[in-house]
Chains A and B, each alone.
Chain A
């Protein structure tokens, strides 16, 4: 017990040190426009993160690293966002604090309430409802309809649907034996997933299409007894991808800008080339906080936050962020393998895959390794929906990391 306590303390304190140094640099950068609230906000962020890590280590019996990793990621994100635009920085501090609250709330709720694996139909209906709401009420933003605005608060339903989809897939495979007995039971999930992908395609949200497809494919690969169906699914998805490329100009254009962004530098290739400038300018060690020009990239605090990190903190920090995600995914998989409750085993897998794939798609996109699709980096990018839903997912993962009852039925 004593050993564990000491071990936990060291990374927490390191994180504290990192945040203090970064915040100090931040204050230096804004030294002419520094007011008291800035300092209070900054210090309270460090305090919140430190305290929540401390509380977490006292109250939970499961994994203590995932929250630590995530707060590290969020700290890097907030410092970058704060440096780029300090109004967004303030808001982001609020989002993170809310996220942490939601994390604990989710943790307690999911842990207390039993029977999550029985709600397949409700997950499904809720998702479809959200999809329909998006299509009917949504407003188009940068070509994709994925925002809806209710009572002045706008959010991205897709972020919630991701979690619902994971819960749905998990409850489906937990109760796979029961579904199998029904006539078309084996094909329920695949049908619903195709419907989801179709909805996303209607929204023109290609990044989410990619996330849902890979998430579903990975879980189907692990759990579906019908191996031919898995294979068929892969073939169908590849074929539809090809078809999409041929039919839809907005898909084709992504590929063309990916192959040669320089040709379209004045138009559709502008963002990606600005991102590449930022990354190459940063080199290995970065220009230093406040010394680069990430503000040349449009939408830098959302989709392109990684390029900004690479420019000012160097690709070594960029690689560090990638590695943090890799460890997060690894911890998630480890949680899954150690979990004896099947539902939470699958949920843990789903959430880890979600974090992994989503971050990969956007990292790969902004460095032009794969075609760019506009999605956010979980915990790092600016934005409420993404931050809150990621913390909810993390809360569920936290529950999954504990020893739970095995449902027998």
Chain B
């Protein structure tokens, strides 16, 4: 009898443990998992509830309305004021096609529903809301429109930003699509081999070509391993594999500054080999390659060959931005910003403020440094070299009268097609207000010829129109 009761109690304890585990799991699920589950686009409730809430507007830094919602019968529908212009920034929000970009990643803010389900409900009890928050972007509508017009008919991306705060003024990726007519265009969009849904500025990975030489140069300066007089014959042979200059002619005797001005491949290939992959990748990683870049939209990780087992040819190629180096245009804009901002790279920002329905600013971004890429002296030295690139070298097309512009051109060999044309830079060199990266995908021309003039125009427009 004694034994029997003991066993009965053991079984009872077992069943109680099962029940308690149900309660624990249910609570755990509700607190930690429910939000993610709830926001799955497969959840039909989302749409039923959402369409009853007036989704917040999205405005540019000057208050211009870019997207808003309006009552359409019983439910709200989204209106995009500028068609394709913001397809890669704001994205779209449709019941049948889901959401993308800021509409997706700021969904809770736009609807004014909180992250935690429990908090949400408490809040709903106190104050049932039916109106979302407004997003104020760092984007300058005029510059965005201007930048996209500069790129008309081309493929590629532009990122223009404030180097000392990280605010993105313009971010263009072409081809794009029109969120207003998404339903009609969907079939064409998904079948288009130029992938208009891809935001090239943050998800496109390209070889940076010669623009990457600024990183190699910084590594050489920091490690004191640059060559004072290098005899450039136009070709450097690494492990029997010739690395040629763009035009194939030699530059004669060059130092680091001159090598950058004329974008001398053999010089940087030799320098890269001298530095070795360890030092090179250390500098590259400080400039956010191989790193996650925090941003309001997800950014693809730029790639640089890892330390360790890698051949000399690969090191040589990497040091001139070819081979296994792949970067996003945003990353290149951040590299330019870092040099402009005394060596500190600031966190890139798209959303400047969150404004509640009664006009109060409930959240605003704070400038935040995410990497100390180099020291102020090296940054300064590089800046002067980049000014020379624009004044005397490959970047002449980026010159602006009366303003010192720093820049670097790049022409990246593209194994699957025509060359990519690159330009990165900032202005004014002495007090940088704007930093930029421009890539023209498969342009088949040099960065100096095609990308530099676009960058110049945008920088000039930004300096003339953006004040703060």
Which residues does A use to contact B, with CB under 8 Å? Answer: 218, 221-223, 262, 265, 273, 276-277, 279-281, 283-285, 292-293, 296, 310, 315, 318-319, 322-323, 325-326, 329-330, 333, 336-337, 349, 353, 356-357, 360, 363-364, 367, 369
Known: A265-B42, A337-B5. A315 touches B15 (CB 8 A): no
Q: Are A330's CB and B12's CB within 8 A? A: yes
Tell yes or no: B45 within 8 A of A by CB: yes
Indicate which residue in A293, A333, A360, A364 contacts B45 across the interface (CB closer than 8 Å): A293
Residues in B neighbouring A315, C-beta threshold 8 A: 26-27, 30
Contact B8 A284, beta carbon cutoff 8 Å: no
Contact B4 A326, beta carbon cutoff 8 Å: no
**B11 sits at the interface (CB 8 A):** yes
A338 to B363, CA, bound (A): 63
Q: Could you say which of B16, B21, B42 contacts A273, with CB atoms under 8 Å apart? A: B42
Closest to A329 in B: B15
Q: What is the chain B residue whose CB lies nearest that of A265?
A: B42
Q: Which residues of the other chain, B, contact A277 by a CB distance below 8 angstroms?
A: 37-38, 40, 42-45
Q: How far is the CA of A364 from the CA of B10 in the complex (A)?
A: 21
Report whether A218 and B11 are in contact in the complex, using a CB–CB cutoff of 8 Å.
yes
With A296-B45, A369-B21 already in contact, the answer to whether A333 and B30 are too (CB < 8 A) is no
Measured in the bound complex, the distance between the Cα atoms of B152 and A387 in whole Å is: 70
Pairwise interchain contact B37-A276, C-beta atoms closer than 8 A: yes
Residue count of chain B within 8 Å CB distance of chain A: 38
Tell me whether A353 and B34 are in contact in the complex, defined as CB-CB below 8 angstroms, given that A222-B7, A277-B40 are known contacts: no
- Given contacts A222-B7, A222-B8, whether A330 and B16 have CB atoms under 8 Å apart is yes
Interface string of B1-35 (1 = CB under 8 A from A): 00011011111101110111111011101100111
The listed residue (A221, A280, A296, A323) touching B11 by CB distance below 8 A is A221
Q: Could you give 19 example pairs across A and B, Cβ below 8 Å?
A: A276-B37, A277-B44, A280-B33, A281-B45, A284-B30, A285-B121, A293-B48, A315-B27, A319-B23, A319-B26, A322-B22, A322-B23, A326-B15, A333-B8, A333-B9, A356-B18, A360-B15, A360-B22, A369-B22
Residues of B within 8 A of A283 (CB): 30, 34, 117-118, 120-121
A221, A281, A325, A333: which contacts B12 (Cβ < 8 A)? A333
Q: Which 8 A-B pairs rank lowest in CB-CB distance, beginning with the nearest? A: A280-B34, A283-B117, A222-B7, A280-B37, A280-B38, A356-B15, A326-B19, A277-B43
Encode contact with A along B430-464: 1 for CB under 8 Å, 0 otherwise: 00000000000000000000000000000000000
Tell me whether A296 and B44 are in contact (CB under 8 A).
Answer: yes
Majority-rule SS of B interface residues: helix
Q: How far is the CA of A268 from the CA of B7 in the complex (A)?
A: 40
Docked complex Cα distance between A328 and B7 (Å): 19
Which residues of the partner chain A approach B25 to less than 8 Å between Cβ atoms?
A: 364, 367, 369
| 18 new A-B contacts at CB < 8 Å, known A281-B34, A293-B45 | A265-B42, A273-B42, A277-B40, A277-B43, A277-B45, A280-B29, A280-B30, A281-B38, A283-B117, A284-B30, A319-B23, A322-B23, A325-B19, A337-B5, A353-B11, A356-B18, A364-B25, A367-B26
Residue pair B121, A284 in contact (C-beta under 8 Å)? yes
**CA–CA, A277 and B5, complex, Å:** 43
A221 to B425, CA, bound (A): 78
Q: With a CB–CB cut-off of 8 A, which chain B residues contact A367?
A: 22, 25-26, 29
**Binary CB contact string for chain B from 200 to 222 against chain A (1 if under 8 A, 0 otherwise):** 00000000000000000000000
A221: chain B residues at CB < 8 Å are 7, 10-11
Bound form: Cα–Cα A131–B43 in Å = 40
Chain B 60-87 interface residues, beta-carbon cutoff 8 Å to A: none
Contacts of A293 in B (CB 8 A): 44-45, 48
Q: Considering the chains assembled together, what is the distance between the CA atoms of A369 and B17 in angstroms? A: 14
A223 to B44, CA, bound (A): 51
Q: How far is the CA of A337 from the CA of B4 in the complex (A)?
A: 9
- Complex Cα spacing A112 to B19, Å: 35
Instruction: Tell me the complex Cα distance, A330–B26, Å.
Output: 21
Cα distance A274–B431 in the bound complex, in angstroms: 57
A222 touches B23 (CB 8 A): no
Bound state CA distance, A361 and B7, in angstroms?
22
Q: How far is the CA of A215 from the CA of B89 in the complex (A)?
A: 59
Q: B15–A353 contact, CB under 8 A?
A: yes
Measured CB to CB, the closest approach of chain A to B8, in angstroms, equals 6
| Minimum distance in angstroms from B17 CB to a CB of chain A | 10
